[in-house]
Each structure stands twice: as structure tokens, then as C-alpha cells.
Amino acid sequence: MSFTNLRNFSTKMAFTYKEAVEKLNSLQSNAALLEKLRQAGPRMNEKSLPEMRDYFKRIGYEPKDFDKLNLIHVTGTKGKGSTSALTQATLHHYDTSIKTGLFTSPHLVAVRERIRINGVPISEELYAKYTQDVWERLEATKEEAVRAMNLSEQDTKEILRNTREHPDKPIYFRFLTLVALHAFIQEKVDCAILEVGVGGEYDSTNIIERPVVCGITALGLDHVTVLGNTIDQIAWHKSGIIKPNVPVVAFEQVPAAMEVVEKRAQEKNAPLTVLHARDVSKLDGVEIGLAGLHQKYNALTAIELVKIWLKKMRGVDFTEDVPESFKKGLKLVTWPGRGQELNVRETKYSALCDNLTWFLDGAHTVESLSTCADWFKNVQKKVTSNDEVLRVLVFNCTHGRDAARLLEIISGIQSDIKFDHVIFSTNITFKQGYTADNTNKTVTLEEVTLVQQELASSWKQQVPHFDTDNIHTVPTIEDAVDFAVELAKSNSKQVQVLTTGSLIMVGNTLTVLGIQPQ
């Protein structure tokens, strides 16, 4: 059954955007189930792609149907989202008649940011429509799917104990993959750029069979510690997106990882282009819309992906390192929450003060936090006197990461950049709780509270002379924002707030500030 006839199944009113988001949230795995999946290890992942093919079949698609999207597939442990955004902007601004689709994660303010057409999040109406399409087709095939599970009574009870509300449906990210690819087909995009969610080999996006080109960004070594895998294991998963005879672009990796990427490319007879950090000189004089040296590395990868796509799909062959026609897209690319500077005048608090600026970066690894620290230090070069500025650090990190080690990167700049206050916040958005778009069932309140206590204790140890009265833990991001606003209102100095450590926290901060999806 194709989607062209899907509306014949619908007997209900059209979903509102809020209803569509609530349906999605009902597919989140709770913290207990996530822990069980982690303990199950990689064997659980081996079932992922067959399951995804079944889900796509239930909504009317075979993997080959997505070949018409002329896909670019991007993986990596750091920079894959930025690289995907740079690729989209470069391609679309090269020729605005090329209609692009972009699927990324996570979102910052609204779920619909994950699915973009020509770089713009799809509208609430379209998100609701395409979610309803997918949901109703899964509902129409539910009984058949449950029978096919062939579950014992004990297995059924186990699923219910893990509070999966809809055991016949995919979990959160996989459902979004269904919606995104369906949306791109319906919107008739000329090129869809897919960012891998996790890993590569078993990621839900890896059901695609014939992309035009694949990209592998840099491997963050600290991900090895966090994920409990060796470098070559992570490289093996990342390079799992390589397809037979399909070109692949890889940024240079540590030798052990590079060896795996090269081997898997050879096995698939996939032409491999390796980019090197030294190639960054090719971007001299080229303006990149995203701050930081690491974004230049991502830009190099994006440029090569677009070159290959245009050669294969449009017959255009480039001889320049950076074609002139690529420069507009590289300059105009936007990717909120990464090296973002936001003045209070741009927020809903504009009437309360005018001497407050947020510096937002979702860095959450040792390497990315080091880059964030360098970026914030460079910002301070514009400050004529430290006596004119009050600085506030708002920090959090995901439970399970080495909180003290991550915080150490930022506390290490205290001797150069003096923070007057530090705030450790949970990721809970408002005092009343989450918005629908940012509801998070994957962690418990006890977990996030414990992390804040650990961070406050670590800061005291790492910066022993810091005034303990200026170390704060707050229950919500709204509380952290309120603190900064009150500080600015009661001072004539400029107040700078560095918010980092968690992309979720950065996104929820933008929500509190009243920033619309970008």
C-alpha cells in the first residue's frame, strides 16, 4: 500500500502539532529501559535494520524507494551535524533550484527542526501531517505486526513492565526517521542529507541502499571512554555506512581508526577521499558562518561531499579547492547552539535590561569543550577592561559522563577568564516542567539532581579560592536565566553568560529565552 492512498485509512481529525509531538513523546524509552538496552550490548543492534525495514514496509516503502532522494549520508562522533548543515547550505546556495532535505538530531527548541526543507524547519502543519500519515499507517498494520512478533506471554509482560506504551511501534528516533524520509519523498526533494543518529552500522538511517556519497567526520577520542568501546570498534561502526561502489569522504582519523575505514572502503570497492587537518589552509580568506577551527575541518568535508554530489548528479567538475559558487553557502550557514552569541535584546527579556549577552555552545566532550573554552577566551579579547564585565558560567552534563573531567576544561580558564558566578542547572526547562517539544523521559529527577551536586563539589575542589556564596545549583533552566537577568538589572556592568556542557541544556535555554526554531 503506497502513501498516496493513506488518507483513506484516516477516520479522525487531523493532528494538531501538539498532538503530533505528544504521539512522538509516547515513544520515548524511559530510563529503566534504556539501561536494559545498554546492558544488552551490540547484539541488540543487530536487529535494528531488519526491524526498520519492517517499519518502512508497514508504512508503504521499500529501502530502494529512497534512492530517488539522491542521498548524502554523514556519520562521525563529532561534527556530523555541523557538517550536514554546511553541506546543505553549500549545495542549496550553489543553485537554489536544488531542493534540499536535511535530517539531523537532536533538536534545540522544536522537534520539527530535525526535518528541514532548504535549510528551514518544516512547518508545524507539515510536521503534524506527516506524523499522522506514519502513525495511522502503523496503527492500520498493528495487529499484523504484533502477531509477527510471536511473543510469549512472559515477553509481553516484560515489554509492559518496561513501560513501552506502543510496543508495535518504533522508538523515538526511529519513528522520526520514518517521518523524515516520508516527508522528503512527499516534498520531492532533489537531495536529502541524513545525519546518522548513533554509530552508523546499525543506525536507523542505514536502511538506505544507494546514497550518492557518504561522509565520515572526525572521531572524538573521549567518546571511546564514554561508550566503552575501542577506537577500532567505533571506527567499524562509523564506516558501516559505506556502500558498495559509493564514494566516501573521510576526515583523517587516528591511525587505528583510519586503518579500519580504509579496510571497509576497500571491501566495498568504495572510492575513498581522505581529508587532512593541513588542508585547512585551503580555506584562507573564505568566511565560514560557524565559529572555530573545528568548523573549518567540517567545512572541508562538506565541500568535498558537495563536489562529488554535483559531479555525479549534475555533471559539474570542479578544479578549485573552494569553488567561488560555494562561498555564499559556507558564509550563510546557520547552526544554532554551537558558538552562538545572543544579546538580551533578541530575547523575550529585552524590556528588562540591555546589558546581558548569552554565549551558547552545546559542547559536551573534552575536545569540544576545549574548543568552546578557546572560543570564549577569544570573545574576551574585545573586552577593554575586566572591571566592566561580570561573567557567569551555566553548566551541566549528561548523566554517565565524567562530570568532573568535563568541568575541568572550563574551570581551567578561570585564571584567564574570571567567572564571578557559576550555576549548575538541571536540563528541566521551566519551573512548571518541560514543553511538549522538550519532554525528556530518559532520565530521572534523582539523576539530574545528583549530577548538579557532583558538579558543585567538583568546582569547589578545582577552584578552591572561589567564593562559595557564588556557587549555585538550580532546579530548572528558567531559574538560571532569571538569575542572570536579575544580576544584569542590578548592575551597570555588562553581564556575559557562558552556557555549555549539554546541547539539551542549550536548546532548552533558547526555549526559555523565547527564541523561535531556526
Residues 307 and 282 in one domain: yes
61 has pLDDT over 90: yes
Instruction: Give the ranges where 228-339 is alpha helix by DSSP (H).
Output: 231-238, 255-267, 293-314, 327-332
Domain membership of residue 446 (yes or no) is yes
Mean pLDDT of 417-435: 93
How does DSSP classify residue 62? -
Domain membership of residue 517 (yes or no) is no
Domain membership of residue 154 (yes or no) is yes
Residues 321 and 345 in one domain: no
Instruction: Quote the pLDDT of residue 66.
Output: 98
Mean pLDDT of 188-217: 95
Residue 167's pLDDT band (cuts 50, 70, 90): confident
Tally the C-alpha atoms within 13 A of residue 335's C-alpha that lie toward its C-beta. Answer: 32
CATH number at residue 498: 3.90.190.20
32 has pLDDT over 70: no
Tally the C-alpha atoms within 13 A of residue 515's C-alpha that lie toward its C-beta. Answer: 23
In this structure, what C-alpha cell is assigned to residue 34?
534504556
Domain membership of residue 158 (yes or no) is yes
> How far, in Å, CA of 471 to CA of 393, rounded?
10
Tens-place pLDDT, residues 287-324: 999 988 889 999 999 999 999 999 999 999 999 999 99
Domain boundaries, position 463: 340-512
Residues 274 and 421 in one domain: no
Residues 372 and 295 in one domain: no
Instruction: Quote the pLDDT of residue 157.
Output: 58
CB 182, CB 56: distance < 8 Å: no
Domain membership of residue 161 (yes or no) is yes
What count of other Cβ atoms lies within 10 Å of the Cβ of residue 377? 12
Element (H, E) at 69: none
Mean pLDDT of 86-93: 98
> How far, in Å, CA of 180 to CA of 112, rounded?
10
> How far, in Å, CA of 126 to CA of 112, rounded?
9
Domain boundary, last residue among 270, 305, 332: 332
Mean pLDDT of 169-188: 96
Residues 160 and 113 in one domain: yes
Domain boundary, last residue among 332, 362, 379: 332
Instruction: Quote the pLDDT of residue 172.
Output: 93
Residues 325 and 349 in one domain: no
Residues 308 and 428 in one domain: no
> How far, in Å, CA of 368 to CA of 406, rounded?
10
Return the residue matching grid coordinates 532548504: 118
Handedness of CA 334, 337, 339, 341 (dihedral sign): positive
Q: Is 202 exposed, middle or buried (0-12, 13-18, 19+ CB in 10 A)?
A: middle
Residue with the larger pLDDT of the pair 501 and 198: 501
Domain membership of residue 291 (yes or no) is yes
Return the closest-CA partner of residue 217 out of 290, 293, 301.
Answer: 301
Tens-place pLDDT, residues 102-143: 999 999 999 999 999 999 999 999 999 999 999 999 999 987
Cα dihedral 411, 335, 212, 181 in deg (nearest 10): 110
Residue 164's pLDDT band (cuts 50, 70, 90): low
Instruction: Quote the pLDDT of residue 451.
Output: 84
Domain membership of residue 210 (yes or no) is yes
> How far, in Å, CA of 271 to CA of 325, rounded?
25
225 has pLDDT over 70: no
Instruction: Quote the pLDDT of residue 2.
Output: 43
Residue 167 — φ and ψ, nearest 5°? -65, -15
What count of other Cβ atoms lies within 10 Å of the Cβ of residue 155? 12
Mean pLDDT of 157-166: 58
Residues 135 and 219 in one domain: yes
Element (H, E) at 248: strand 248-251
If you count them, how many residues does the chain have?
A: 518
3-state class (DSSP) for residue 475: coil
Tens-place pLDDT, residues 458-470: 999 999 999 999 9
Instruction: Quote the pLDDT of residue 385.
Output: 74
C-alpha distances in angstroms, 300 versus 279, 281, 305? 8, 10, 9
Cα dihedral 266, 271, 276, 280 in deg (nearest 10): -170
Write out the DSSP string of 129-176.
Answer: HHHHHHHHHHHHTHHHHHHHHT--HHHHHHHHHTT-S-TTS--HHHHH
Residue with the larger pLDDT of the pair 175 and 146: 175
339 has pLDDT over 70: yes
Domain boundary, last residue among 294, 315, 332: 332
Residues 283 and 215 in one domain: yes
Peptide bond connecting 106 to the previous residue in cis, omega within 30 degrees of 0: yes
Q: Which of 67-71, 74-78, 143-147, 408-412 has the highest mean pLDDT?
A: 67-71
Least trusted range by pLDDT, from 172-181, 431-440, 472-481, 494-503: 431-440
Mean pLDDT of 237-251: 96
Residue with the larger pLDDT of the pair 99 and 7: 99
How many structural domains are present in the chain?
Answer: 2
Residue 5's pLDDT band (cuts 50, 70, 90): very low
Domain membership of residue 518 (yes or no) is no
CATH number at residue 92: 3.40.1190.10
| b/e per residue 105-137 (b: at least 16 CB within 10 A) | bbbbbbbbbbbbbbbebbebebbbbbbbbbbbb
71 has pLDDT over 90: yes
Residues 166 and 252 in one domain: yes
Residue with the larger pLDDT of the pair 46 and 163: 46
If you average pLDDT over every residue of the chain, what do you get? Answer: 89
> How far, in Å, CA of 99 to CA of 288, rounded?
22
Instruction: Quote the pLDDT of residue 166.
Output: 79
Tens-place pLDDT, residues 272-292: 999 999 999 999 999 999 988
212 has pLDDT over 90: yes
Residues 326 and 383 in one domain: no
Q: How far is CA 290 from the centre of its chain?
A: 15
The single-letter code of the amino acid at 272 is: L
Give this prediction's pTM: 0.90
Residues 141 and 248 in one domain: yes
